[in-house]
Copies of this chain bind each other. A is one copy, B any other.
């Protein structure tokens, strides 16, 4: 038996018995306390710092000592050696402060989780757009009424049903050719198991749900009109699920949740690494996403039923009033039994995600996605029964996963193409899905090329000194006054600009992606940094100062924050954004060149990130190629839309299957010439490109096109 120790986590006060040898981060998770981590527990990101409190805590009858956890490791020591200022500012000493991913429990301890390290439930900003989708679902329902068997016609239940179904389908779809014969129908095994009892309970009058015009997947007693499906976009960070009525196409509920795999690493590479380094890693990551999908399904059904109930109440309220007025003496009519949707009534799910999410969902080892030559297990779409994956929709329900295009161009890109339809355009469209990794698709009805590029986590707020995800307390907008060089900002969870408010104190925690773009663009626009991204020395502002890692510009003073420290944007942060935008820009430029184009006719920014960045500022720093601003569209969750389209229209699945197979994948070259292009692209907006559409914003300074080694 493993020894157990008591731990207490402050300030939440969560406590419990945990196994000796468990890391604090893992133990905290078991007690329901999420501690941040980005580096897949590699002791490099420092987001998981905790404090070991010493002393006798009478309230808990506990003696907490630093000796009750494992000694500081070399990696931890190395990390803290890189952060002298932090330790000094906070007054922490190494040993008191620990990286909770490294520090293991060996006795009773009381642990303080500082504000910065706490994991928060993210505000999910994705939402489904209203879009015209032709409804041709894979599931269709038919009412079948049979003559019960008798000694003269004792034909088996299945054959009786299949014959009835042939008749019923023929009536409903009169005139259609190539309708199946009764002997062509098949039945899902779990559905067969309950066939006999359902037919009898239903007195031989059932609604039959048929998948793809061939397989019977559900029998319901009596008449049922509606069937249900779910479309899901599994992002590395966020999972968004839409519960749909497959007959009407209506979205009955949209639910989203953090991707629980985040605790195993924030980016796909960390998660791939986790599956390689841990024997049960794949199983854990797979189960985590399945479990979240099951929760989302449950929640979506609940939401849909509550909504239906409210609608009904509203209706019956009107009716009641009317009936009271007219026939006050009539007794109340029998209350109709509500036809609640159950999770088992969901008969199909369509899922999309990047190739890593795709593999983890399907429990396929993602190892080779992360190793050259970067090969997925499968391109073509996958159909698998819900019960094979442990998804709690109807066990005969089908799980359809859209095709992948390449190792870093996944089913989410297929879905984006399906939603935005560049493959039927005469114009040349450039689709960009920005995340930790960016996927780009360029082309028209004749040809599509795609590529992907790691943009690094900077655009999502990571690897930036005070970067964070789009969560409460994060700055989401920054502006700097050209004259005073004073900033103003907006914070998620607060209304308006900070400067508009009488008191604005102790709220800010960090900077999220959109504000980072804003910040860098504003530093450039106001001339605080030059076109090479370097801080300009000698400007008159107390906000520009020499910081721990070089020059920095303070956006929020310590007293405006909840972390008690100044929040600056540093030279290093600007460099991170320069690298990210150079990667994205070079990828776009390369695709355009292969196409012989100067610029695309339209730029479509997909993903939650695209919806929140200021497109003018994005162009100002050269994140996206020059283009008429009006032709730059932010379309929100295009991947989710694509999933929904494939859910509601089975022909669209065949369409994207064939389109995905034809998309040309272009690997960004690794030769020196390309590297040079990439280096040039780090400048604002781009050293060798005309940017006519934002020219009026570019500071009147001449960039030095020959500047070398400017990154040092």
Contacts and interface: CB of A to CB of B under 8 A. Distances in A.
Residue among A183, A364, A665 with most chain B CB within 10 A: A364
A275 B665 CA distance: 59
B377 A157 contact: yes
Interface string A361-375: 011110110001111
A157 B378 contact: yes
A156 B195 contact: no
Nearest to A151: B373
Interface string A149-192: 11100111111000000000000000000000001000101001
A96 interface: no
Nearest to A404: B156
A68 B533 CA distance: 93
Interface string A350-391: 000000000000111101100011111111101010001000
Given A151-B667, A364-B193, A368-B196, A156 B373 contact: no
A205 to B, nearest CB: 17
A372 B151 contact: yes
Contacts of A196: 364-365, 367-368, 375, 377
Contacts of A195: 364, 377-378
A159 B378 contact: yes
Nearest to A150: B373
A668 to B, nearest CB: 11
A605 interface: no
A514 interface: no
Contact of A157 (B154, B158, B375): B375
A384 B154 contact: no
Copies in the complex: 2
A365 to B, nearest CB: 6
Interface in A133-158: 149-151, 154-158
Contacts of A363: 193
Contact of A375 (B154, B367, B388): B154
Given A151-B667, A365-B197, A367-B196, A157 B376 contact: yes
A379 B189 contact: no
A406 B379 CA distance: 45
Contacts of A158: 377-380
Contacts of A193: 362-364
A362 B158 CA distance: 14
A306 to B, nearest CB: 34
A156 B183 CA distance: 37
A259 interface: no
A407 interface: yes
A156 B665 contact: no
A375 B665 contact: no
A375 B407 contact: no
A364 B375 CA distance: 43
B159 A192 contact: no
A192 B379 contact: no
Nearest to A148: B373
A159 B149 CA distance: 48
Given A156-B376, A159-B379, 20 more contacts: A150-B373, A151-B374, A154-B374, A154-B375, A154-B407, A156-B378, A156-B379, A157-B368, A157-B375, A157-B376, A158-B378, A158-B379, A158-B380, A159-B378, A192-B378, A192-B382, A195-B364, A196-B365, A196-B367, A196-B375
Interface in A554-579: none
9 contacts: A151-B374, A154-B406, A154-B407, A155-B379, A189-B388, A193-B363, A195-B377, A196-B365, A197-B365
A39 B482 CA distance: 97
A375 B197 contact: no
Contacts of A375: 149, 154-157, 196
A348 B196 CA distance: 27
A66 to B, nearest CB: 44
A150 B667 CA distance: 12
Contacts of A156: 375-379, 404
A183 B379 CA distance: 11
A540 B363 CA distance: 82
Contacts of A157: 368, 375-378
A489 to B, nearest CB: 43
Interface in A76-97: none
Contacts of A407: 154
Shortest beta-carbon contacts, A-B, top 4: A158-B378, A156-B379, A156-B376, A151-B373
A278 B665 CA distance: 61
Residue among A196, A362, A375, A665 with most chain B CB within 10 A: A375
Nearest to A375: B149
Interface in A384-418: 384, 388, 404, 406-407
Nearest to A154: B373
Contact of A192 (B150, B151, B377): B377
B183 A380 contact: yes
A280 to B, nearest CB: 15
Residue among A374, A376, A667 with most chain B CB within 10 A: A376
Nearest to A405: B156
Nearest to A161: B378
A473 to B, nearest CB: 41
A398 B192 CA distance: 17
A51 to B, nearest CB: 43
Contacts of A368: 157, 196, 200
Contacts of A154: 373-375, 406-407, 665, 667
Contacts of A374: 151, 154
A637 B363 CA distance: 44
A577 to B, nearest CB: 29
Nearest to A406: B154
A150 B374 CA distance: 8
A200 B380 CA distance: 20
Contacts of A151: 372-374, 667
Nearest to A190: B388
Contacts of A183: 380
